[in-house]
Amino acid sequence: MSVGMSLLAILDEAPTYGLRLKQEFEARTGGVWPLNVGQVYTTLDRLERDGLIRPVAGEAEGQKAYEVTATGRGTLEEWFQRPAKMDPPPRDELVLKLVMAIRHPDVDASDVIQAERKGAVELLRDFTMLKRDPPAETDLGWLLLVESLIFQLEARVRWLDACEARLDRSSAHLRTEAMPTPARSEETIPTEVLP
């Protein structure tokens, strides 16, 4: 319930109403994670239902502000203190795709790897450029967010390369002649992005 907890965190700084929560959320994530307004209200309903927030009088008419209850503060504190444990770890679509691809007789797993790699490298380029050329207000939170995406994409690309290496090794005994060298050999992913 990441969105709910985020809204709870914003409300814990100061009570506000729906639309401003959306704006605050998007400001902090630099517009990378747009939030539908409707979701704000449904999420607020759930938070109120669970006793984490309670409505207060808004500044102006037509504004329905909320404040965090004692229970809500406790839940929020726990969220900040306790690391997100994965048990089981969240299903990764890409990993599932690869696991299925290497078994499927009609699918060339190397093709899947190359397609995914191309997509990941493109995204990596986009976000690296975005970081190097930040739009308008540069924000620490925004920087951390973008760097997180870059780190994750780098890990993804390295994993795809490792997969290919394992596949080559797995099928090595099947070929008697040399295979064509992979098309992406000259392309290199920088290991470190941070200065």
Partner DNA sequence: ACAGCCATGTAACTTGTTACATGATTTT
Partner DNA sequence: AAAATCATGTAACAAGTTACATGGCTGT
Please give the residue ranges that form the binding site for DNA (CB under 7 A): 1-4, 17-20, 35-39, 41-46, 58, 60-65, 90-91
Q: Which is nearer to a copy of itself, 72 or 154 (CB)?
A: 154
Residue 27 touches which member of a copy of itself, DNA, none, C-beta under 5-8 Å by kind: none
Q: Which is nearer to DNA, 24 or 154 (CB)?
A: 24
> In the range 32-61, which residues lie near a copy of itself by CB under 8 A?
32-34
Smallest separation, CB 31 to a copy of itself (Å): 9
Binding mask 90-119 toward a copy of itself (x if CB under 8 A, else -) reads -xxxxxxxxxxxxxxxxx---xx--xxxxx
Q: Which is nearer to DNA, 45 or 168 (CB)?
A: 45
Residue 100 touches which member of DNA, a copy of itself, none, C-beta under 5-8 Å by kind: a copy of itself
Does 83 bind a copy of itself (CB under 8 A)? Our answer is yes
Q: How far apart are CA 5 and CA 162, in angstroms?
A: 36
